[in-house]
Structure formats: C-alpha cells, structure tokens
Amino acid sequence: MVASSAISIDKEKLIGEVLMRQLRAQAPIINDPLIEEYIQDLGNRLVAQADNAKFPFRFFPINNDAINAFAFYGGHIGVHTGLLVKADSESELASVVAHEIAHVTQRHIARSMEARQNASPLQVVSMLGGILLALANPEAGMAAISAGQAAGQQAMINYTRSNEKEADRVGIEILARAGFEPQASASFFGKLAAQYRYVSKPPAFLMTHPLPESRVADMKARVGNYPAARRPESLAFQLVKARILARYSLDSKQRLVHFRDRLENARTEIEVKSSQYGLALALLADEQYVEANGIIAKLLQEDEENLFYIDTFTDISLATGQNEQAISRLSSLLKTQPRNRVLALNLANALIQNKEYNRAVSHLKDYLLVNPDHLLSYQLLTEAYGESGQKMEMHQARAEVYALNSAYTRAVDELKTAYNFTQNSVIEKQRILARIEQMREAETRLNKL
C-alpha cells in the first residue's frame, strides 16, 4: 500500500518539472532522439504494468559511464549510459528501470519530504537539485553541494531498507508483468554486489541503493516464486549499446578497432548487425563515407524501416551533400509514422541543411504540439528561423530554450528583443507580452513553492 503524503500529486509534478529544468541546464543529458526513444519506450512498457502510476513518466539518458539510474518527483527517471552499456541483456536493464519506477509509484521520495516537515518545498528543491546533479554529473554536482550540507542532502535521496525491499518486490512484479525475465533482477543486482563488495568506491547506484547480502538473497527467493522466463535477445537493445559506444563512450582511436574486432567475433545475427551498425557510425565519424554507406545500405535492405539505420543513412546523406535523398526517404516514412520523433527531427534537420526553412519550421511546430517541452526541437527551430532571417521568431524560440533550462530572466530578455521586431503587428505584440507574463508567473510559482 502506498502511504499518504504531505505533498500533493500536483505539487510533486511541479517540483519534478523544476528539477528537470535544473538538470537540463547543468547535467550531461543526451539530446539524442534514438536513445531517448528507446529508453522512453522501454520505460512505457514497464509503467503500463505498474500500479499507482499517477502521472506520465519521463525517461531520459545521462551521458555518464557510471552504472546508475535515479528517480525523482513527478515520474522523472534518469538512466546513465554506463548502465545501458554494462547490462548484459535488456531484462537486466529493465530490472533497474522497474526498480526506479517502483520508488516513484510507492512515493518514497515524497515520503522523505513528509519526514522533513521543517523544510519548505523550495529548500527541498534546492537540496535535491544539488544531489541529483551530483548523481548525474559528479564534478558539477559536488561543486553545488557544500561540505556542511552533503550528508543531509545525501540522506534525502538514500532509500531506507524498507523502501528498498518494497521497491525490490514491486519492481520484480512490474518486470514479470511486462514480459521481461524476473530472474534478471536478482542476477544483475547480485552481480553488482559481488563485483563491488570489496571496492572502496562502489558505483553510484550502490551508494544510493545499498546491496547487503541479505537483500540479494531475499531477491533471489522472491524471483523463485515466478516461472522461469527466457526472453529473446533484443536487437534494439544491442543497437542502442553500439550507438552509445560509438558516439559517446569510445574515443576516435578506439571506435574502429572495437567494432571491427566485435564484428570478427560475432556469434549471433544480432551481434553481427549491431557490430555492423557500430562500425558504420565509427566510419561516419572518421569521414569514411563510402564504406559507412555500404554497410548501412545493406542493413536497410534487410530492415528498411529500422530507425537506427535510417538515422545513420540521413547523416551520411547530409555529410555527402545528398540532402534530397534523405528528405525523400524520411518524408515517405513519416506518412505512416507522423509522430515519430526520430523521423520528424531528422527530417527537420535535413530540411534546414537543404535551406528549406519554412518546411522545417512546419514539421517542428507539428512535433512541438505533441511534445511541448522538447529541447532539441526548440534548438532546431531557433536555427531554422535564424538561417531564414526571421528575427522575431528566432528570439521567441530561443526564449523557450532558456525557459526549459529555468533561465527565465534570459528568456524574458529574448522575448523583449523579439518584441522589437514585431513592426506593426498588434497580435504579435500581444502574444509576446502574454508570454513574458507567463514566464514571470512561472518564476514566481517557483519562488512560492
């Protein structure tokens, strides 16, 4: 049973959004539509099987090699690239994400606020912001935490033994309901405990989620109550791992060697395809476009709608000046998948590169109607307006970028600059003034938390 809390669901959502804006501004969040799409899809499959999900969940990738994931108010869950790379199967990754979902649905963080009744919500936001930043980006985060506050802030995000036991139980149930291997939960957590038992500095996940032997034993016993399941290997999981390694983890000297070796030693069809994909990304980064294109063309022959391959096909086309080729293929696919973020954002980028700014703006506006807080979309929109000389609209779009990073003062400054380009349009002047007022109200709400 989920305990009642002093904080309402609406306030929890508001605090979660404030914290998310802080993280966008300071943490190494990856604005990569493919990785975003994969993590959100995996998370949605798990949330669909969770009880007490009071709001839409948002899953986002953090560019950090640590094995970690963390949850905070309002259904926000950050997943480190290190966790994605080091999990041996999609079920192992899902076991950690399910555990974090359980912390949210059981309102463990909300309960911690209830226990700190002397602290105002704004104080809690400030304290949590520092510790969340430390989890996402240790170097920047530790600078945000004074020595005197560190222990208290850490205590706010550390879960009690009863919290962890409850999250284990609920997480394993979510995992099993969603069709993943429930035994992956005990195996992955057990692996972590064994690997880091005698290490002076364990991974970040174990700092906030201690794994004593008794807890691992309890998990193994609980998993025994579920029938053994064997889930087929996931191509998407292996492709996202290859993408992270090629784009965010390995340096330029390692990439080609790593994926050529991996391809040579591949044993399954999925290992072959994911190694080929990783090699194509490495070749693209090395500007070896002909070889990269040959690999991607072959992969697309076998799987013409695979978004990972389509994305790399687009990048190769744009790098070699074949913009129309990319636009044609993306436009065709969008007819059957009109709201797909990978296709929509790739097409917008291709249109900008092809100097078709008005079409790019149209696609981005359509996408933002459904995804109003998507940072990369506003960044592309700012670029499209800027390249086409639409100064008023460019400053308006840039204001939204600042607002998504909680930089409301700079956002208002951009809107004031946009106002100077309205000429004689009364409607535009009213629209900008209204948006300025909304920005100021958002800042006031933050200060009144």
Say which CATH number the domain at 329 has: 1.25.40.10
3-state helix/strand/coil string of the chain: CCCCCCCCHHHHHHHHHHHHHHHHHHCCECCCHHHHHHHHHHHHHHHCCCCCCCCCCEEEEECCCCCCEEEEHHHEEEEEHHHHHHCCCHHHHHHHHHHHHHHHHCCHHHHHHHHCCCCCHHHHHHHHHHHHHHHHCHHHHHHCCCHHHHHHHHHHHCCCHHHHHHHHHHHHHHHHHCCCCCHHHHHHHHHHHHHHCCCCCCCHHHHHCCCCHHHHHHHHHHHCCCCCCCCCCCHHHHHHHHHHHHHHHCCHHHHHHHHHHHHHCCCCHHHHHHHHHHHHHHHHHCCCHHHHHHHHHHHHHHCCCCHHHHHHHHHHHHHCCCHHHHHHHHHHHHCCCCCCHHHHHHHHHHHHHCCCHHHHHHHHHHHHHHCCCCHHHHHHHHHHHHHCCCHHHHHHHHHHHHHHCCCHHHHHHHHHHHHCCCCCCHHHHHHHHHHHHHHHHHHHHHHCC
Q: How many domains does the chain have?
A: 3
Q: Is the pLDDT of residue 4 over 60?
A: no
Q: Which of 179, 196, 223 is the last residue of a domain?
A: 223
Q: Which of 158, 188, 223 is the last residue of a domain?
A: 223
Do 217 and 91 fall into the same domain?
yes
Residue 230 lies in a domain: no
Do 400 and 421 fall into the same domain?
no
Rounded Cα distance between 378 and 380, Å, is 5
pLDDT at 222: 83
Rounded Cα distance between 380 and 400, Å, is 12
Do 311 and 385 fall into the same domain?
yes
Q: Is the pLDDT of residue 91 over 70?
A: yes
Do 323 and 180 fall into the same domain?
no
pLDDT at 147: 38
Q: Is the pLDDT of residue 127 over 90?
A: no
Q: Is 218 a catalytic residue?
A: no
More confident residue, 388 or 134: 388
Do 70 and 219 fall into the same domain?
yes
Q: Is the pLDDT of residue 236 over 50?
A: yes
Q: Is the pLDDT of residue 407 over 60?
A: yes
Minimal CA–CA distance to 97: which of 123, 60, 54? 60
Rounded Cα distance between 143 and 103, Å, is 27
pTM given for the model: 0.86
When pLDDT is cut at 50, 70 and 90, the band that residue 167 belongs to is confident
pLDDT at 200: 62
Q: Strand 58-62: give its sheet, edge to edge.
A: 58-62, 76-80, 69-72
Residue 43 lies in a domain: yes
pLDDT at 121: 53
Residue 4 lies in a domain: no
Do 386 and 420 fall into the same domain?
no
CB-CB contact of 370 with 341 (8 Å)? no
Do 114 and 167 fall into the same domain?
yes
Catalytic one of 100, 166, 173, 311 = 100
| Polymer length of the chain | 449
CB-CB contact of 367 with 332 (8 Å)? no
Residue 80 lies in a domain: yes
> Would the annotation count 395 as a binding residue?
no
Amino acid at residue number 362:
S
Q: Is the pLDDT of residue 374 over 80?
A: yes
Do 37 and 173 fall into the same domain?
yes
> Would the annotation count 99 as a binding residue?
yes
pLDDT at 156: 46
Rounded Cα distance between 348 and 184, Å, is 39
Contacts of 15 (CB under 8 A, 6+ apart): 7, 73, 74, 121, 124, 125, 449
State the average pLDDT over residues 46-54.
86
Residue 428 lies in a domain: yes
Q: Is the pLDDT of residue 208 over 50?
A: yes
Q: Which of 201, 223, 245 is the last residue of a domain?
A: 223
> Would the annotation count 90 as a binding residue?
no
Catalytic one of 36, 168, 181, 414 = 168
CB-CB contact of 351 with 359 (8 Å)? yes
More confident residue, 128 or 331: 331
Rounded Cα distance between 377 and 367, Å, is 8
Report the range of poorest mean pLDDT among 36-50, 183-197, 370-384, 434-448. 183-197
Do 79 and 125 fall into the same domain?
yes
State the average pLDDT over residues 46-62.
87
Q: Is 100 a catalytic residue?
A: yes
Q: Is the pLDDT of residue 155 over 60?
A: no
pLDDT at 130: 54
Segments forming the whole domain that contains residue 353? 235-407
Do 330 and 440 fall into the same domain?
no
Residue 280 lies in a domain: yes
More confident residue, 135 or 85: 85
CB-CB contact of 181 with 231 (8 Å)? yes
Residue 44 lies in a domain: yes
CB-CB contact of 140 with 36 (8 Å)? no
CB-CB contact of 381 with 397 (8 Å)? yes
Residue 3 lies in a domain: no
pLDDT at 158: 53
Do 53 and 173 fall into the same domain?
yes
When pLDDT is cut at 50, 70 and 90, the band that residue 23 belongs to is confident
What mean pLDDT value characterizes the chain?
84
Do 198 and 251 fall into the same domain?
no
More confident residue, 153 or 313: 313
